[in-house]
């Protein structure tokens, strides 16, 4: 299956600006992207990174089979337009998946489950009503990532008279946008994953406060 992976290459993850510098956010975003691409390739799918600026896959520390399997297309249009330009246009075209680049907890198994659905549209919604991953087979279905996009996509599926399957997956529902999301990366990320290793290199560790697990920075870096 072909998988589109949108990526904001310039000034990514602005909602993490209170805890990460601009350089750190860029490094962390690329670490998450590398983990997502690894999971996609290990799920036997073919990813294309749709980047807002030129991006060298080799700079993501991808090697061998992973590096060979990843292609990059530069498209600086808004997310909705860039994705819609790559969805199936007729019934003869194969299904296309779209997986967001900040799904740091994604595993090959979770993605294989998503990719296995041959319904008109299959969606893994985010925790706040967004659309974290989608597989589109129906040629009339087009995405709209504004606002509570999962609900919008349910309505669009009804409008084009196609079935929408909702995929209940903790790993695909967890996108990393806010400072409190960093704890999920350290709790659930694998030892070999790049994103948790990146956070640990920045000095982050788990901390329990008021009975809740969060993160604390053990060694404050020089802020920009």
At 179-190, the pLDDT tens digits run 999 999 999 999
pLDDT at residue 105, as a whole number: 98
pLDDT one-digit tens code per residue, 105-133: 999 999 999 999 888 999 999 998 999 99
- Average pLDDT rounded to a whole number, residues 144-159: 96
| pTM to 2 decimal places | 0.94
- Average pLDDT rounded to a whole number, residues 211-220: 83
In the predicted model, is pLDDT for residue 223 greater than 50? no
For residue 34, the surrounding DSSP H or E stretch is helix 22-42
Tell me the domain boundaries of the chain.
2-177
pLDDT one-digit tens code per residue, 54-98: 999 888 988 888 999 999 999 999 999 999 999 999 988 999 999
CB atoms within 10 A of CB 197: 16
In the predicted model, is pLDDT for residue 200 greater than 90? yes
In the predicted model, is pLDDT for residue 159 greater than 70? yes
Q: Judge whether 62 and 34 are in contact, CB under 8 Å.
A: yes
Phi and psi angles of residue 202, each rounded to the nearest 5 degrees, phi first: -75, -10
Q: Quote the mean pLDDT of the chain.
A: 94
Percent over 70 (pLDDT), the chain: 97
pLDDT at residue 185, as a whole number: 98
pLDDT one-digit tens code per residue, 129-146: 999 999 999 999 999 998
CB atoms within 10 A of CB 51: 22
- The residue ranking higher by pLDDT, 222 or 105, is 105
To which CATH superfamily is domain 2-177 assigned? Spore Coat Polysaccharide Biosynthesis Protein SpsA; Chain A (3.90.550.10)
- The residue ranking higher by pLDDT, 211 or 2, is 2
Tokens found for residue 138: 């129906």
What are the strands, taking DSSP E only, across the chain?
2-7, 46-51, 71-74, 96-99, 121-125, 131-136, 164-166, 204-209, 212-217
Percent over 90 (pLDDT), the chain: 86
Measured CA distances, 153 to 98, 114, 149, 165 (Å): 13, 16, 6, 11
């Amino acid at each position: 299956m072909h998988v589109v992976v949108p990526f904001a290459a310039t000034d990514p993850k602005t909602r993490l600006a209170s805890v990460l510098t601009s350089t750190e956010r860029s490094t962390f975003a690329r670490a998450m992207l590398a983990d997502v691409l690894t999971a996609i390739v290990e799920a036997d799918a073919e990813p294309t990174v749709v980047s807002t600026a030129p991006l060298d896959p080799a700079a993501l520390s991808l090697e061998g089979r992973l590096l060979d399997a990843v292609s990059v297309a530069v498209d600086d249009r808004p997310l909705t337009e860039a994705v819609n330009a790559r969805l199936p246009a007729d019934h003869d075209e194969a299904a296309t998946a779209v997986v967001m680049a900040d799904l740091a907890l994604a595993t090959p198994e979770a993605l294989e489950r998503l990719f296995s659905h041959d319904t008109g549209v299959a969606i893994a919604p985010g925790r706040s009503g967004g659309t974290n991953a989608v597989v589109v087979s129906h040629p009339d279905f087009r995405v709209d990532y504004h606002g509570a996009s999962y609900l919008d996509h349910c309505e669009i599926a009804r409008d084009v008279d196609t079935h929408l399957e909702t995929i209940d997956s903790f790993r695909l529902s967890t996108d990393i946008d806010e400072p409190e999301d960093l704890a999920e990366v350290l709790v659930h990320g694998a030892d070999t994953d790049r994103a948790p290793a990146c956070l640990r290199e920045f000095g982050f560790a788990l901390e329990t406060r008021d009975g809740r697990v969060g993160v604390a920075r053990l060694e404050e870096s020089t802020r920009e």
